[in-house]
Structure 1
Amino acid sequence: MSMGRIAVVGAGLAGLRTVERLRRLGHAGPVTLVGAEEHPPYDRPPLSKAVLASPEAARPPLREEDYAALDVDLRLGTHATGVDGHRLLLSSGEVEFDRLVVATGVRPRRPAVFDGWSGVHVLRDWADCVGLRTALAAGRSLVVVGAGVLGCEVAATARGLGLDVSVVERLAHPLPLGPAVGAHLAALHRANGVTLRCGAEVTGLKGDGRVAGVELADGTVLPADVVVVAVGSTPNTEWLSGSDVPVDDGVLCDRTGRTARPDVWAAGDVARMPHPWRAGTVRFEHWTGAVDTAGLVAANLLADEPKPLAAVPYFWTDQYGLRLQAIGLPDPADEFEVVQGAVEDGKFLAHYRRDGVLTGAAAMGMPGPLAKTRRLIGTG
């Protein structure tokens, strides 16, 4: 059950779960886990919700693993800088490996229009959360640019803290789950006092070095002493430049997690792979995607015949005390049908279909029926 020396780059959820699974499956060889942050691995989902709203939280929500029991060489505050043969080059030294797992995740995109402005924030790690939490405590008005999961959660948290909140989204509705679910989520935010501007573009900021407003393409200026940019992410793959590990908006791998270089694998947000429920390749940037691909890669590292990814994608978001869940990889253009409850009541199960095939589902307040639907999607 040993594949020699395994190095895992990235001490987030995907990297840690890879190490845990390797040990659970019986790998007894040396394992090195490299993390750029000084903190041991921690959970990121609370950073946009409970932790962002809790000034008493003095440290990230750590995963209290027994690293001694895992027998892992944990190298924190260390950046990977390259790969040379079977040497992993680090900001402090190097590590020899027989197998390498890339789990370096992503970083927030920050378009040039926001460069050089004080009061503009992104949210990805603990330091981002602390900075944003401090700004919200002193602020009065927040503009969130981007109405995806992260942007909507930050907006909901900030409303709970009493700030005036505006959300700007270039698409017609929040979240890529189609117009019905998007309209319900938009109504939920507006009912909680959020100014939501969909189909809008940010063209500039107002202020004297420190942001005081956000200007839209139609000339509207939204007041803001705090701005959060949540418009997507960029995979952390620059350190692989010049290596023979293929990258293209992520680390390119097959459905087993293996790259074209047979001793290098990828897991988590950074992994771009073909998916059974979507044409082309996909990077799935959610908590469950990190868990699923980490478990897959760890098992395949030790297997004679690697298995392809079969887990049905799943994500959830908590806003205003409600939980929206979604499974599969539906396209917003897929046929949409509410099969239980009613979207406008905030308790429903809806199916997405393409050419008669179930591609996904969304639900509020119906976790049991959603779980059954997940099994149906898994069977095709």
Structure 2
Amino acid sequence: MDVNGIVTDDVFVAGDISRFPHPVYGYQFVTLEHWVNAVAQAEVAAHNMLCDQSERWPHLWLPVFWSSQFGLNIKSVGVPTFADQVVITQGSAEERRFVAAYGYQGRITAAVAFDQSMWLPFYQRLIEQAAPFPPELATADGPVELRPVAAEVPDRVAATQDATVVVTGHDPGERRATLVRRQS
């Protein structure tokens, strides 16, 4: 990328601190500080260095993390902070065993599982397919009625104090950027 955030030809970057525009998250820049992402970026970068520009791949890795806290196995896919609504789709918060799906403007963008990690690949496919939010599921352990609530996510951290660069389009040959001023 150049200083204006525009993707430049024949410059290839990989690593756990590199940023890239992600189509699932409105082409906002995403940094995934994890070795698995760095390896995936290296594979895409190597492919793109060796092929014709028309055959280049975009880097579309979804963030994934896991942790064990207080006897609970917590796993996540996507970016929960990029959401305007959240809903429990499976299990129960009272039992501390559930899946919460996150959505933004009617599309699923993330899921977090508490002792339900076997469901994360399913939710990852929903995110990658731009499935509607709330997701339409037919599971035995889900609530009778899905009741999304406001996600109440704090303001996003911008790359700079004054502006955010939003890259539009995903065609590798397209090079446009829009400067979006933050509202006070």
Equivalence map 1:71-110=2 (5 Å): none
- Is 1:301 the equivalent of 2:76? no
Aligned equivalents of 1:365 and 1:261: distance in 2? Answer: 44
- Segments of 5+ residues of structure 2 without an aligned counterpart are 131-184
Shift of 1:351: 0.5
Contact 1:265 1:297 in 2 (8 A): yes
Assess, with a 3 A threshold, how the Cα gap between structure 1 residues 322 and 294 changes in structure 2: closer, same or farther: farther
2:40 counterpart SS class = helix
- Quote the sequence identity (%): 36
- Is 1:272 the equivalent of 2:19? yes
Q: Which amino acid aligns with 1:288?
A: V
Match of 1:345 in 2: 95
Q: Which amino acid aligns with 1:349?
A: V
TM-score normalised to structure 2 length: 0.59
Match of 1:288 in 2: 36
Q: Could you give the per-residue CA deviations for residues 83-123 of structure 1, whole angstroms, max 9, x where no partner exists?
A: xxxxxxxxxxxxxxxxxxxxxxxxxxxxxxxxxxxxxxxxx
Contact 2:83 2:109 in 1 (8 A): no
Assess, with a 3 A threshold, how the Cα gap between structure 1 residues 362 and 287 changes in structure 2: closer, same or farther: farther
Equivalence map 1:1-380=2 (5 Å): 246=2, 254=7, 260=8, 262=10, 264-279=11-26, 280-304=28-52, 305-331=55-81, 333-380=83-130
Shift of 1:332: 5.8
Shift of 1:331: 2.5
Aligned equivalents of 2:129 and 2:123: distance in 1? Answer: 10
Contact 2:72 2:114 in 1 (8 A): yes
Shift of 1:313: 2.2
Match of 1:114 in 2: none
Shift of 1:261: 5.7
Aligned equivalents of 2:6 and 2:93: distance in 1? Answer: 38
Assess, with a 3 A threshold, how the Cα gap between structure 1 residues 253 and 315 changes in structure 2: closer, same or farther: farther
Shift of 1:358: 0.6
Aligned equivalents of 1:378 and 1:325: distance in 2? Answer: 17
- Segments of 5+ residues of structure 1 without an aligned counterpart are 1-244, 255-259
Shift of 1:289: 2.1
Q: Which amino acid aligns with 2:84?
A: D
Aligned equivalents of 1:333 and 1:358: distance in 2? Answer: 8
Q: Which amino acid aligns with 1:302?
A: L
TM-score normalised to structure 1 length: 0.31
Contact 1:327 1:374 in 2 (8 A): yes
Aligned equivalents of 2:3 and 2:37: distance in 1? Answer: 19
Aligned equivalents of 2:81 and 2:104: distance in 1? Answer: 9
Aligned equivalents of 2:71 and 2:6: distance in 1? Answer: 38
1:268 counterpart SS class = coil
Q: Could you give the per-residue CA deviations for residues 156-191 of structure 1, whole angstroms, max 9, x where no partner exists?
A: xxxxxxxxxxxxxxxxxxxxxxxxxxxxxxxxxxxx
Q: Which amino acid aligns with 2:67?
A: T
Contact 2:83 2:102 in 1 (8 A): no
Q: Which amino acid aligns with 1:265?
A: F
Assess, with a 3 A threshold, how the Cα gap between structure 1 residues 274 and 346 changes in structure 2: closer, same or farther: same
**Which of the pair is proportionally richer in helix?**
1
* Structural RMSD (CA): 2.4
Aligned pairs, number: 127
Pair member with larger Rg:
1
Q: Which amino acid aligns with 1:372?
A: F
Aligned equivalents of 2:68 and 2:13: distance in 1? Answer: 29
